[in-house]
A = this chain, B = another copy of it.
Amino acid sequence: MKVSDLVALDVRFPTSVTQAGSDAVHTDPDYSAAYAIVRTDAGDGVEGHGLTFTIGRGTEVCVAAIEALKPFVVGRDVDDIVGDWRAFSLSLTNDSQLRWIGPEKGAIHLAGAAVINALWDLHAKREKKPLWKVLADMSPRQLVDVVDFRYITDALSPDEALDLLESRAPTRAEREAELLRDGYPAYVTSVGWIGYDDATIERLCGEAMADGWSAMKMKVGQGIDDDVRRARLLRALLGPENRLMMDANQKWDVDEAIASIGRLAPFDPYWMEEPTSPDDVLGHKAIAHAVAPVRLATGEHAHNRVMFKQFFQAGAIGFCQLDACRLAGVNEVLAVLLMAAKFGVPVCPHAGGVGLCEYVQHISAFDHIAVSGSLDDRMVEYAGHLHEHFVDPVEVRGGRYVLPAAPGYSVQMQPASLAEFSFPHGTYWAS
């Protein structure tokens, strides 16, 4: 069975109209996806679907980058890809010419994520399992063989990774049963977008608590006095026992972050997210030391395993918020999960956007079953937007994700949604 085609689509949802998703830096996001479809010559109609999340303008650049990867995928034997995931990943992330426009960052890396995830989706569908189960059924050795260890061996060697996975293997079944029974804990982001007024926040917060949510995130960074006012409002609504996360979306410089977090600390943030540039490992370290015991979280813009390695080595973050499609797909996510487990940093993946919740439910379930073996301080982000566009949307019940059962990696969109929101010629954008 060979890959017969790789199709790249530009899909944009007009979320800026309602300010859903707005934050201090991304003031008008149109949640979008550079979307990849892998087809084969098997004649069974099974396709692999993957996407990388974007927020409007620039999606077309990622689509061009997916097109650039086409020669590395089309014509490849699917069993060869599945038989050596590491080599396949390297062929996309370390091509001798394409790497120059990264390396391992920016549009080309985002495109690699969409394509690599599409191949994992195809594989999981052929196995007739949800992706988390495909991974949870792989042996420690098979999992280690997926990972590209270039540049991280000073933090985690393949042998250490193997030992870690083997130590969790005997008890995988217990944790799988636990998650199938109870679901995976989650928190909700869609109550506190920065473009929402107080009345909207109050209403959404009340609705969320009624639905069983006990952890919520608010956006900060649009002016510290306003941030403090909103934090006071949210904390009053939530009471002292519920968790309130705060997210500055990279708005502050280092010294400004330290001062701002000092003002917000009385409202007991469970974490302070993206206080400054996502590239600034040393800046996060300085902030973390200054604001302890408030813990920092970052990761949605950390572009590869080398960045996470340094955040872990520096003790700069208390929570790892890896992104399933900014890292180069399942392969690089696995590298980061393994390092996080070694360094004892809980992984609470970035979600929301479009398709991210669908993705990361698989990642966190697998992490618990086979890698970290713990739910302490771990929650998956949830935002209630755009799930209706997916064939197998996430299901959340009582503030927890219900483990997905459908085969694949869950980001396949409804054909009608692709037709309506393809940019610029879909029916929505053309009209």
Contacts and interface: CB of A to CB of B under 8 A. Distances in A.
Interface of A: 25-30, 54-62, 64-65, 67-68, 94-110, 150-154, 250, 253-256, 276-283, 286, 301, 303-304, 306-307, 309-310, 313-314
B307 A279 contact: yes
Contact of A61 (B54, B57, B61): B61
B100 A58 contact: yes
Contacts of A60: 64, 67-68
A55 B108 contact: no
Nearest to A94: B25
Contacts of A25: 94, 96, 99
B107 A253 contact: no
A101 B110 contact: yes
A258 to B, nearest CB: 9
B58 A97 contact: yes
Nearest to A98: B58
12 contacts: A25-B99, A28-B97, A56-B97, A57-B95, A58-B65, A58-B100, A59-B101, A62-B101, A65-B107, A101-B110, A151-B253, A281-B310
A106 B101 contact: yes
Contacts of A280: 151, 306, 309-310
Central interface residue in A55, A62, A97, by most chain B CB within 10 Å: A97
A295 to B, nearest CB: 20
Contacts of A94: 25
A56 to B, nearest CB: 4
